[in-house]
Structure formats: C-alpha cells, structure tokens
Amino acid sequence: MAYQLKKTRHCVWQKMINVSLLLMLTIMCSPSFSEPLQQIPFQSEWLKNHYNDRMTMFNLQPLEAGDIVFIGDSITEQGMSWGRRFGDLAVRNRGIKGDMTYGVLARLEEMKANPPKSVFIMIGINDIFNLYYQQKIKSLSSVSLNIEKITE
C-alpha cells in the first residue's frame, strides 16, 4: 500500500512538472515573448519587463466579444481572477502593476477587436506619481487627455 501511494505521488509530481514545462515553452515561444512590444512612454525597466510578462499572459488568455473587462494598474492586477470573484468566467483582468494611461492606450486594440460588454477602468495614479516624483510626465492635462481617449 505504501509503495502504491509513493508511486501515485510520483506520477502526480511528474504530471505537474510536465505541465509546468509545457507552459514555460508556450510562453517563451509565443510571439509577444520573442518580439519586442511597442515603446510606451515613461516606463521604467522594471515596468517594461512586467508589462511584457503580462502581455504574454494576456495573449494566452485572449478576450472574447462580450467579456467584462477590468483594465488598469496594480489595484486591478492584484484582484487576480475577477471572474472567480464575480462567479463569471467572462470577467477578465487586464491590470498591470505600475501601468500608466500610456500603457492602457497602447493595449486598447484587443478591446476594439473584441468589444466587451462592460469595462471598468482604474488608471492614472502612477501617472501622477511620475509627474511629482520622477518628473518625466510634464502635466496632469496629458493624463486627463489620455483618460478621455481611453473612455471614447
């Protein structure tokens, strides 16, 4: 009996390793991983890398027309699976930690191609942080204009 249990555990671990390797290869071979994404203004090196990682994940889980989309920054991303929270797998998380309005503008094509039923937006605080501390963004009016573009 102990031998059978040990053998079963080994099989489970082997399957988990195989699935992990398959997922890693899928991510590494996906077009968004091998091709650089468009340049987005004011991104730090960390944000560029994290943005690319999230975009790779989004490519593996594409939106479908009629989905409900949460798009934004870290508060949105940290909601993890909004679909589970609402009991509806058509609710999708498109949050990226550290993202700014420029990043959201750069990824609106997915929603234009697959029009969502509803969109919830949480964006702008990182633009304001950048304006006051990193001082790369020059005015709040540009942030306001970006939010207007996002909501059109």
- The pLDDT score that the predictor gives to residue 7 is 53
CB neighbours of 69 closer than 8 A, spacing ≥ 6?
63, 91, 92, 94, 111, 116, 118, 119, 120
Whether residues 24 and 42 share a domain: the answer is no
Whether residues 25 and 55 share a domain: the answer is no
User: Where does residue 8 rank: exposed (0-12), middle (13-18), buried (19+ CB within 10 A)?
Assistant: exposed
Whether residues 123 and 88 share a domain: the answer is yes
Looking at the 3D structure of the chain, how many domains does it have? 2
Measure the CA–CA gap between 30 and 129, rounded to whole angstroms. Answer: 33
Q: Rounded to two decimals, what is the model's pTM?
A: 0.70
- The pLDDT score that the predictor gives to residue 41 is 84
Whether residues 29 and 89 share a domain: the answer is no
Whether residues 94 and 143 share a domain: the answer is yes
- The pLDDT score that the predictor gives to residue 31 is 45
- The pLDDT score that the predictor gives to residue 39 is 81
Whether residues 81 and 26 share a domain: the answer is no
CB-based contact 68:92 (threshold 8 Å) = yes
Task: Read off the CATH number of the domain in which 103 is found.
Answer: 3.40.50.1110
- The encoded tokens of residue 84 equal 């589970």
Whether residues 27 and 47 share a domain: the answer is no
- The pLDDT score that the predictor gives to residue 8 is 52
Question: pLDDT digit string (tens) for 59-98?
Answer: 999 999 999 999 999 999 998 888 887 888 789 999 999 9
Q: Which domain holds residue 51?
A: 37-151
- The pLDDT score that the predictor gives to residue 6 is 53
The one-character DSSP state at 37 is P
Whether residues 58 and 13 share a domain: the answer is no
- The pLDDT score that the predictor gives to residue 85 is 79
Whether residues 67 and 84 share a domain: the answer is yes
Whether residues 1 and 29 share a domain: the answer is yes
Whether residues 5 and 70 share a domain: the answer is no
Residue spans of the chain under pLDDT 70: 1-38
- The pLDDT score that the predictor gives to residue 25 is 43
